[in-house]
Amino acid sequence: MDVQPIWGAPRERFRRRQGGKVLLAPVLGALMVLVAACGGSGDDEGDKGGGDTPSRATVKISPKDGAEDVATNGALKVTVDKGTLKSVTVKDRKGKKVEGKLSKGGSVWQPVGHLGTATEYTVDAVAKDSEGREAAEHADFTTLTPKNTFVGRHVPEDGQTVGVGMPVDLRFTRGITDPKAVENAIEVTAEPSVPIEGRWFGNDRLEFRPEKYWKPGTKVTFTMNLDGVEGRPGVYGTQHKKITFTVGRSQVSTVDAASHQMTVVRDGKKIKTLPITSGAPGTETYNGKMVISEKHPVTRMNGETVGFGGEYDIKDVPHAMRLSDSGTFIHGNYWSGQWTFGNRNASHGCVGLFDYRGGSTSTPAGWFYENSMIGDLVVVRNSHDRTIQPENGLNVWNMPWEDWKKPQSAQAAQSGQ
């Protein structure tokens, strides 16, 4: 049987009779659809903004794709020429996004903070031109791994309950020459909210406090986003920590060096008056507001460590609580005789309370130790000595608020002014 191409087939193959009429429509209609599908009208793409016409916008990502050892600050930037940025997404391999901001006009995107060290980041940027046509760019890069690092050692600890006088105390393991960069990476907030300000003492210590003592029940949160902060040339922070502590009840104990008595006030009510001894003539106790920073059931006190030579070395001082970095404590005293307390000042600058050797909860020293916490205040008055400096211990309350808030230059911060 001969097979002929369809175009060469007899016309009868395209005819179908129905009621005496010749019908050609079904085959011809199919052919018309086939022609239309192969050729198209050419109008659809034109209706969608120019078909394959590329966007005039050109996106540039710095650093370039594949870059390594990238600086954590100042290196990342996304720009567009002949267009505006529609979106920029920067994130690390864990999916944490980097917050950024667009310039006025939308042509430049930069991060609002610093990047982390030794971290791989991905950047995806989309821009559009004046006709709405989009252009996209992608890049991966890795930040530097520092050879020299620093951390901030802090008190209080996460979850701790403290007294109303407790500041946020940060002491850095390396001297900081860019205090503003470090301070900008630390946030301190309180609930209920109060204004909180930071102040540098020297180049390795930063303190935060409100205007007045914390209110009991306040929850304080401080975040250290120091990873990637260049605190001094070539020296980078490595921490990212969030610490929350709670302020407990209010307790302020006032020592009167002249009357040799201490009055303990809790939540506004006097709960105890205790006989004390303070610094003898020539070794008087500092005046001022002092914060309990350490508690020790028993400790050694050696005069050589605080400039008194071999005048004393007591290996078992009971119920000791530190009030200053320079060696001021309020502690139990079993060696001076019970008559001393409430009658004369006989110490080398500490505040002493009667105690037994080995310590006892039944003595004034034992009671006060059991009823005190880190962050409580001990205020000394009527001593023949100067007021303690705010940087000597956690004694930040001895600087007026207006002075505390004054801006510090980098030089002033490094010198502790």
Active site residues: 331, 350
The HSE-up count of residue 206 (CA atoms within 13 Å, CB side) is: 30
Distances in whole angstroms, Cα of residue 250 to Cα of each of 81, 162, 191, 201, 265: 61, 9, 16, 27, 8
User: Are 91 and 98 in contact, with CB atoms under 8 Å apart?
Assistant: yes
Q: Is 108 exposed, middle or buried (0-12, 13-18, 19+ CB in 10 A)?
A: middle
Tokens of 49: 């903004």
Write the burial class of residue 84 (CB in 10 Å: 0-12 exposed, 13-18 middle, 19+ buried). middle
* Both structure tokens of 407: 């801006």
Tokens 């870059």 map to which residue? 67
The CA radius of gyration of the chain, in Å to the nearest whole number, is 38
The SS3 of residue 402 is helix
